[in-house]
Structure 1
Amino acid sequence: MQLDFVWKAVLIIIMGTLLLRIAGRNSISKLTVSELVLMSTIGPLLSRPIENKGIWTSFGVASILILTVFVFQFLKLKFDSLELLLTGKSTIIIEDGILNMKNMKKTRLTTENLKMRLHQLGITSINDVAWASLEVNGQIGYKLKPNSQPATKQDIQNLVRLIETKILESK
């Protein structure tokens, strides 16, 4: 009985772990498009040796894929236009408490999905949002209207001072 698949499986796990650690360990939601393509390509590529397709060839191709992503990342740092082409840019989806339906359609984001994601951020009403954007990593960036922003430590300290002043003045 041939047991070479055992050492191949162990080697695949070791090399796969090593290659993915080198590539980076962002969560899926934080991956760029090229990183997501890389991660989804490496899985099937690393399973090829089990089918006797050449273990070292698979590791070599996986290494080249990772190197290509690193080159793209470097080039994106050097050339802003390339970053815009490869990564995209954030899209405004709420302006002054009003949904930008054109951009919502463009990003294929439904109103219900947006409301759910805003609730996860602690925002209960779209009317409370000064602006919100769908970022390139899929997250929602936002700024609340001044009246809807939570009180800061400084706001509370100012209020305490004001109350203390009023109490002292009334004596």
Structure 2
Amino acid sequence: MELAWIWKSIFIVFAGMILLRFAGRKSISQMSVATTVIMISIGTTIVQPIANHAMWIAVGSATMFIISLIIIEYLQLKYDWFEKLMSGRSKVLIENGQINQHNLRSMRMTVDQLEMRLRQNGVSSISDVSTVTLEPNGQIGYELMRHAKPVTIGDLERILGLKFESTPDQSTLFQEVKSNQHASSIDPKLQ
């Protein structure tokens, strides 16, 4: 029975994966405060059974954490005040090209940190940005000024007066998701 911890470890990993699958598909960067706390709790709980032989209690606790997360997310969908309480709201950091120093300070963010995040998103000048928000998940959202927005194919078609038809027979990544099949099973040329 000395090697029983190996099987327990494997079982706990699979149980954790199944439970986290029920929790949803959010990446770590998109997790809310509640999700982060629950995921840390699950991680701590899942490790415990190997040390103290309480495997079913750990799985039961992890299940309760996931159920709590699902209830919290449901309540956030149902009640706006609960979502605001649990996740917060987006904060405007730049409005009409001007930095909102008050909101920047309340988010404990420096201008240098804001500029770094904008650069990471391909923005090279604050004067090119109309609005920047800090979202509850920590990501920034932004809207470029009209002069800095990229031209789309639709814009070019309108400018040039052209009309092109799309080719629906081409395989795309979105078709894979919609049909629930890998591209190789959709397009025989890819096999």
Name whichever of 85-94 and 146-155 sits farther off: 146-155
TM-fit CA distance, 1:25: 3.0
SS in structure 2 of the partner of residue 59 of structure 1: helix
SS in structure 2 of the partner of residue 94 of structure 1: strand
| Alignment partners' CA distance in 2, 1:68 and 1:7 | 28
Match of 1:60 in 2: 60
Runs of 4+ in 1 over 6 A off after TM superposition: none
| Alignment partners' CA distance in 2, 1:116 and 1:96 | 19
Match of 1:25 in 2: 25
| Alignment partners' CA distance in 2, 1:158 and 1:24 | 41
Letter in 1 for 2:146: P
| Alignment partners' CA distance in 1, 2:124 and 2:4 | 58
Match of 1:149 in 2: 149
SS in structure 2 of the partner of residue 105 of structure 1: helix
- Between Structure 1 and Structure 2, the one with more helix by share is 1
Q: How many residues align?
A: 161
TM-fit CA distance, 1:70: 0.5
- Aligned pair in 2 of structure 1 residues 3, 154: CA closer, same or farther (>3 Å)? closer
Quote the RMSD (CA, aligned, Å).
1.5
Q: Deviations over 1:71-129 (max 9, x none)?
A: 11111111111111111000000011111111111111221221121112221101111
Tell me the percent identity: 40
Letter in 2 for 1:123: V
Letter in 2 for 1:131: T
SS in structure 2 of the partner of residue 124 of structure 1: coil
Higher RCO (Cα < 8 Å, 6 or more apart): 1
TM-fit CA distance, 1:154: 3.8
TM-score by length of 2: 0.79
Letter in 1 for 2:7: W
Q: Deviations over 1:116-153 (max 9, x none)?
A: 21112221101111111001111111111111212233
Within the alignment, does 1:70 sit opposite 2:70 as a pair? yes
Match of 1:36 in 2: 36
| Alignment partners' CA distance in 2, 1:90 and 1:117 | 16
Letter in 1 for 2:90: S
Larger radius of gyration: 1
TM-score by length of 1: 0.88
Contact 1:76 1:83 survives alignment (8 Å): yes
